[in-house]
Each structure stands twice: as structure tokens, then as C-alpha cells.
């Protein structure tokens, strides 16, 4: 058995040096050799309030340098059995959202042709629509675990139908997702009307509002979602603003009263066993992240997602 790519150890090279890849994994563009392709999508032209997520991938990679390969809490050793690498950033067109979405979809078509599981560091949430288009082309409509303060189901914003606030209405309309196996977790905040969330509930989306989750251990919810999904291919999209701004202030559209960091870990860990075909972590805005905690938390959430990918060994 050939050994797999490993993050550079902090005992071999000081953690504050080395390549700015995710967890200091090797960089590679040889997709045919990879089980998992970690990539950055440095984009913020789909945002509606604060910008800055174009700097997300760079900062999340930087904070990921402290993460060690073995998950002491769950026993996951994600780099032992799966070949992973950082494939760099997508060359999006920062002057055109529509062109950027096209580039993302074409890049994902290529990654999925090689059967690599793509793990994206965003970027604002608009990146997830072209990703889901590619996913549906490859796998058919996917189940969706969507952790977010917002439902992102607007019909349009300023007449635009592709923004970070319209993603999951488009995904539903285009038949990219299994709407009855779509779970929106952490929703809260103010809206424009009483129907802001309920319309999507009528499409079949299962919504778990943050106030219902306050103070709860989310292991139970995660297990419930896992059983309900069964063996369907599932995409996990994690908006960092699902967390309370106390934990993740560095984001574009913060909402008070959110989830805690332990709840994020409980939820992801309880999903172990679902057939994840791809995932992303979006909406980290480093200019608003003065402590670096948001990017650090995002890096760890991505690591926890790597730990539940199909084929990961547990010690
Ligand atoms: Mn979102
Ligand atoms: Mn959000």
C-alpha cells in the first residue's frame, strides 16, 4: 500500500512557515490521482451587504496550518485512506458574476469526471449554485444539508436571479436537489414577510430554526438527518454565518442568536456515514475577522467535514 499525502507535520517544519495550502497538504493538479480535491473559490461579487469573502480561501488556509491530522475526539484519520491535495484556487472572473459561475461549473464538471470529491473554501454562497448544477449532472438530484442563518431562497435581488441569497430557490426550480431531503439548519433573523421561509417548507425543505436548537446537543438532529437521508448522494454546504457572531464575526451578513461552535461539531460528527459527494464552507470575510477566529473555526469545520467523507478510516 502506498502512503497517502499527509499535511506537513509541525515537528518537521514550523507551523508558521511552509506552503499556504489547506493544512499544508501538497499542492497538486493531478486530479486523476485524487480522492478528494480541496480548492479555493475567492469570490465576493455575489454578496449583498459586507464584501471580503474573496480573501476567504487564503485566510482559511492560513489558519488551517495549526490543525493536526488525527481527530482525537472521533478517531478519524482522514489522510490515512484517502488521497487528498489542495488543487489551488479557481481562476474566476472578478468582474463578472455570471462568467464566474460558468467557470465554477466547468471546473466542477472536470473534477467530478475524475471522481474526486470536491471540498470548496469560499467565497460567498453564490458559488454553490454552479456547484450543484455540476453535482446534479454527475449524480442526479442530491440531498442537501444546508447550515445557514439564511434560507437563501429569494427569487431575485435587484433583478438578479443568481446571487448569494437566491441559490436554493434556483436549485429547487432547476431540479438540482432532492427538495424532500433538503435540511436547512440554523435559520433565524428578520425577514421581509412571514412567507420568507415557509414557501420553501412547502417545496419539502425541512427547516430547523436556530431558536428551536438553542441549548440543545445537535447530535440527535444530526442522527435524525443521517437516517432520513439514507444512502442518497448528499452535498453539504456550510455557511459560517450559521454560527453566532460571537463565534464567527468575520462574515458578510451576521445574525445574532446563532449556533455555537460545539453544536457545529456535534452536527457534523453525527452525520458520519452519509454519502457525501462534495461540500463547501462559505462566507468567511477576513476583513471583518479581526481575531482570526472565524477563519480558524471555518478551517476546523472543513477538517471535520473531511473526517466524515466516505472511505475515511477510524482508529
Ligand atoms: Mn448562505
Ligand atoms: Mn447566511
Closest ligand by atom to 282 CA: 1
CA distance 131 to 106: 9
DSSP state of 26: P
* Structural domain includes residue 11: no
Distance of CA 46 to the CA centre of its chain: 16
The Å distance, Cα 15 to ligand 1 centre, comes to 31
Question: Which has the closest alpha carbon to 166: 182, 147, 152?
Answer: 152
Closest ligand by atom to 49 CA: 2
The grid coordinates of residue 229 equal 437521508
Closest ligand by atom to 128 CA: 1
Q: What angle do CA 302, 229, 124 make, to 5 degrees?
A: 35
> Inter-axis angle of helices 219-229 and 261-270, to 10 degrees?
30
* Structural domain includes residue 7: no
The Å distance, Cα 299 to ligand 1 centre, comes to 17
Write the DSSP string, 100-117: HHHHHHHHHHHHHHTTPE
The Å distance, Cα 241 to ligand 2 centre, comes to 5
The confidence score (pLDDT) of residue 297 equals 98
Closest ligand by atom to 152 CA: 1
DSSP state of 308: T
Domain range for 192 is: 22-314
DSSP state of 64: G
Closest ligand by atom to 255 CA: 2
The confidence score (pLDDT) of residue 194 equals 87
CATH classification at residue 38: 3.40.800.10
Question: Which has the closest alpha carbon to 38: 116, 148, 113, 144?
Answer: 116
Residue 287 makes CB contacts below 8 A (sequence gap 6+) with 50, 52, 55, 250
The confidence score (pLDDT) of residue 154 equals 95
Mean pLDDT for back-to-back runs of 10 residues, the chain (315 residues): 89 97 97 98 96 98 98 98 98 98 98 98 98 98 98 95 97 98 98 91 98 98 98 98 98 98 98 98 98 98 98 96
* Structural domain includes residue 12: no
Beta bridge partners of 37: 85, 118
Neighbours of ion ligand 2 (CB under 5 A): 148-150, 239, 241
The confidence score (pLDDT) of residue 4 equals 97
The confidence score (pLDDT) of residue 2 equals 67
- Considering only the C-alpha atoms of the chain, give the largest distance between any 2 of them, rounded to a whole number of Å: 58
Cell 492560513 belongs to: 62
**pTM recorded for the entire structure:** 0.98
The Å distance, Cα 6 to ligand 1 centre, comes to 31
CA distance 269 to 206: 20
* Structural domain includes residue 27: yes
* Structural domain includes residue 6: no
* Structural domain includes residue 96: yes
Determine how β-strand 206-209 pairs with β-strand 233-239: unpaired
The Å distance, Cα 146 to ligand 1 centre, comes to 8
| Helix/strand/coil for 84 | strand
CA distance 22 to 40: 9
* Structural domain includes residue 194: yes
Closest ligand by atom to 241 CA: 2
Closest ligand by atom to 123 CA: 1
The Å distance, Cα 245 to ligand 1 centre, comes to 14
Domain count for the chain, please give it: 1
* Structural domain includes residue 143: yes
Determine how β-strand 177-187 pairs with β-strand 206-209: parallel
Does residue 244 contact residue 258 with C-beta atoms inside 8 Å? Answer: yes
C-alpha dihedral over 254, 183, 78, 292, to 10 degrees? Answer: 0
The Å distance, Cα 51 to ligand 1 centre, comes to 13
Task: Locate all alpha helices (DSSP H) within the chain, ordered by sequence.
Answer: 56-63, 78-81, 97-113, 128-139, 167-173, 195-203, 210-213, 219-229, 261-270, 293-307
Closest ligand by atom to 165 CA: 1
Does residue 135 contact residue 176 with C-beta atoms inside 8 Å? Answer: yes
Neighbours of ion ligand 1 (CB under 5 A): 125, 148, 150, 152, 239
Closest ligand by atom to 252 CA: 2
Amino acid at each position: 500500500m502506498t502512503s497517502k499525502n499527509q499535511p506537513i507535520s509541525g515537528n518537521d517544519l514550523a507551523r508558521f512557515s511552509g506552503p499556504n495550502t489547506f493544512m499544508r497538504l501538497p499542492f497538486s493538479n493531478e486530479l486523476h490521482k485524487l480522492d478528494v480535491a480541496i480548492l479555493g473559490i475567492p469570490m465576493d461579487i455575489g454578496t449583498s451587504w459586507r464584501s471580503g469573502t474573496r480573501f476567504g480561501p487564503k485566510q482559511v488556509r492560513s489558519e488551517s496550518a495549526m490543525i493536526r491530522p488525527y481527530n482525537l475526539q472521533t478517531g478519524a484519520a482522514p489522510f490515512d485512506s484517502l488521497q487528498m491535495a489542495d488543487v489551488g484556487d479557481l481562476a474566476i472572473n472578478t468582474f463578472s458574476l455570471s462568467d464566474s459561475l460558468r467557470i465554477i461549473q466547468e471546473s466542477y464538471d472536470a473534477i467530478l469526471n475524475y471522481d474526486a470529491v470536491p471540498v470548496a473554501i469560499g467565497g460567498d454562497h453564490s458559488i454553490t449554485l454552479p456547484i450543484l448544477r455540476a453535482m446534479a449532472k454527475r449524480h442526479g438530484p442530491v440531498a442537501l444539508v444546508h447550515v445557514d442563518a439564511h434560507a437563501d431562497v429569494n427569487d431575485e435581488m435587484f433583478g438578479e436571479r443568481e446571487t448569494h441569497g437566491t441559490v436554493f430557490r434556483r436549485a429547487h426550480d432547476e431540479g438540482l436537489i432532492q427538495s424532500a431531503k433538503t435540511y436547512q439548519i440554523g435559520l433565524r433573523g428578520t425577514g421581509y414577510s412571514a412567507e420568507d421561509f415557509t414557501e420553501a417548507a412547502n417545496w419539502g425543505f425541512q427547516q430547523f430554526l436556530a431558536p428551536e436548537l438553542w441549548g440543545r446537543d445537535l447530535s440527535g438532529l444530526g442522527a435524525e438527518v443521517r437516517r432520513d437521508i439514507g444512502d442518497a448522494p448528499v452535498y453539504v454546504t456550510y455557511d459560517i454565518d450559521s454560527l453566532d457572531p460571537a463565534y464567527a464575526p468575520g462574515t458578510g451578513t451576521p445574525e445574532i442568536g446563532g449556533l455555537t461552535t460545539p453544536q457545529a461539531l456535534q452536527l457534523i460528527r453525527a452525520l458520519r456515514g452519509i454519502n457525501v459527494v462534495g461540500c463547501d464552507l462559505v462566507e468567511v470575510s477576513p476583513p471583518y475577522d479581526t481575531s482570526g477566529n472565524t477563519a480558524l473555526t471555518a478551517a476546523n469545520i472543513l477538517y471535520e467535514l473531511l473526517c466524515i467523507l466516505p472511505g475515511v478510516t477510524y482508529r
